[in-house]
Structure 1
């Protein structure tokens, strides 16, 4: 649960971000409200405003690797705008909202195209480091929770289970184990040197502990 104080700060940051594109706060706030509503859907437990808050804490620390921090910030806001755990096209549907919601505000077309590409990158379809420095920042921030403290990781894992409450336990354990094995098989979970130094070891430890619990007989 995100505190009212943090939500207020996020609203002010959103207004400043959109103002940098010439959008007035009065025009920016309705889109902010739609994004907040999307991330507050009842079926969400991890993919919430708290996830965005945590990403926004990571992005500035990696910003020197990126070329367009404004596009990265917008991509953070939109990358989970659509989240249906039963669907396979969440990233594509989220990317489509970038133009749907920002074009009426006259955000420049190149910016919208840039943000759309970044949102699509969060599908995490490859283990290879992205050539795009902005995508590198976004992807590492998106997975930062994997290298969090043991307590935060356990809460994350429990919240993911809640989002898949419709899946029977045996099927969930098998499917989740495959996801964890996929991550652990990667040469690197993170791409940015800072994330590798600070989070790689912890992330692998967290993932391994969860996998062991899932596969215990």
Structure 2
């Protein structure tokens, strides 16, 4: 076990708090928290906040005492650290600035979309995912597109999961929303392209000559290539979004989605994506598929 705790020195609610983390997996952290009856509401993306009075008990229970700086370093090395810009108190400001750079004439539309991305039922398809896609687009499109194309890609990212209810109609409804909100703001060809790009994120199979589609789909799938702990956090968030399904049905559906990716010659469509992400993504996805088969009592 590799549970770490820093000294109780973070003031809030009339006491001081420690941070409780794992430097290996979130599953390990959650198991430790449950065994000590730490409530789920105390979890904040990569750590639990625990009050001063719980500190001796948690250390006695196996949490290793480290300094605050050691704890942060261990989280970073493990890949479990959530950067500050991805935390709720920062996200709105970061994303509002990005929207202003993309479509500065429509601040109200930006706020409407931000409100959709912040809906409480989202666990993975949320503002963190939106910012991650936008940042991946920055890298993928930097030398491959002009300013107009980058604007279309950024808008497609903002709209691609704007409607999210966990159904097969989400991309279609998101594309319809894009057409409704952008008509009269952009020219008809631009509106049509944004809508077309949004629809592509349903299956991630852009045409060989669809440069923008290939860039957007790769940006949307960047998460598959993250370090294993971060990939596990992504998978857990997906499971939470589909927790209303019985576990076998969830596993079967997820295996189908992931299997379709593994069957492709390449998961990614751009040269940059293949070079940078393909091997890691195949390893992560393959490992998840094996795990999901165990949910069904199958060997794989």
Larger helix percent: 1
Q: Which residue of 2 aligns with 1:81?
A: 162
Measure how far apart 1:102 and its partner are: 2.4
Q: 2:113 aligns with which of 35, 50, 69?
A: 35
Q: Which residue of 1 aligns with 2:183?
A: 103
1:66–1:137 contact (8 Å) kept in structure 2: no
Give yes or no for the alignment of 1:119 onto 2:198.
Answer: yes
Q: Which has the larger radius of gyration?
A: 2
1:95–1:120 contact (8 Å) kept in structure 2: yes
Q: 1:177 aligns with which of 255, 259, 273?
A: 255
2:178–2:191 contact (8 Å) kept in structure 1: yes
Counterparts of 1:55 and 1:2, CA distance in 2: 16
Q: 1:91 aligns with which of 147, 164, 171?
A: 171
Structure 2 gap ranges (5+): 1-85
Give yes or no for the alignment of 1:5 onto 2:85.
Answer: no
Counterparts of 2:156 and 2:271, CA distance in 1: 21
Q: 1:17 aligns with which of 102, 120, 138?
A: 102
Measure how far apart 1:125 and its partner are: 5.8
Measure how far apart 1:144 and its partner are: 0.5
2:174–2:198 contact (8 Å) kept in structure 1: yes
- The count of aligned residue pairs is 207
Counterparts of 2:200 and 2:272, CA distance in 1: 20
Counterparts of 1:184 and 1:38, CA distance in 2: 31
2:204–2:217 contact (8 Å) kept in structure 1: no
Normalised by the length of structure 1, the TM-score is: 0.89
Counterparts of 1:4 and 1:125, CA distance in 2: 31
Q: CA RMSD in A?
A: 1.7
Measure how far apart 1:43 and its partner are: 1.8
Give yes or no for the alignment of 1:152 onto 2:230.
Answer: yes
189-198 vs 117-126, greater mean Cα deviation: 117-126
What do the CA deviations read for 1:126-185 (whole angstroms, capped 9, x no partner)?
A: 3x6542111111000000000111111101100110110110011111221222221111
108-117 vs 145-154, greater mean Cα deviation: 108-117
Larger strand percent: 2
Q: Which structure is richer in relative contact order (CA contacts within 8 A, separation 6 or more)?
A: 1
Q: Which residue of 1 aligns with 2:276?
A: 198
Normalised by the length of structure 2, the TM-score is: 0.65
Measure how far apart 1:114 and its partner are: 1.5
Counterparts of 1:16 and 1:75, CA distance in 2: 14
Structure 1 gap ranges (5+): none
